[in-house]
Amino acid sequence: MQKLKVGDTVQVISGKERSEKTPASKRGKVLTIDRDAGRVTVEGLRTVKRHLRKTAQSPEGGIVEKPGTIALSDVQVVCTKCDKPTRVGIKAEGDAKKRFCKNCDALID
């Protein structure tokens, strides 16, 4: 079972996107996960500008802003109960495996 899934709310804990003043401002939902490269795309964070030339597919061309990627080790899942970034544990309940917050033992999903 994976500890990070698409749709989870995560907070950036280190790197360029980290904010020391208001940590909650650097939160967002996970859009994609690339496990081979160890990168994650987070909604609203690390936007990068790409220059496109005029082609048949994009007749306007110009500068397009796209969401960039952040290293998997630089983000942590935010617990819904305690509203803090936390490590994620996995416990088996019957046949199903559940993720839980290591700080307050609340179930994440």
Please indicate, yes or no, if residue 64 is contained in any of the structural domains. yes
Name the domain count of the chain: 1
Q: Which value, to the nearest 10 degrees, does the dihedral of the CA atoms of residues 14, 15, 17, 21 take?
A: 50
Structural domain boundaries enclosing 70? 8-78
Tokens of 86: 């936390």
Tens of pLDDT, residues 1-47: 578 899 999 999 887 777 676 666 788 899 999 999 999 999 988 88
Please indicate, yes or no, if residue 86 is contained in any of the structural domains. no
Please indicate, yes or no, if residue 94 is contained in any of the structural domains. no
Return the pLDDT at 59: 86
Please indicate, yes or no, if residue 60 is contained in any of the structural domains. yes
Please indicate, yes or no, if residue 56 is contained in any of the structural domains. yes
Question: What are the CB-based long-range contacts (under 8 Å, 24+) for 26-32?
Answer: 27/78, 30/4, 30/5, 30/6, 31/6, 31/67, 32/6
Please indicate, yes or no, if residue 32 is contained in any of the structural domains. yes
d(CA 53, CA 42): 26
Please indicate, yes or no, if residue 70 is contained in any of the structural domains. yes
Please indicate, yes or no, if residue 109 is contained in any of the structural domains. no
Residue 50, pLDDT > 80, answer yes
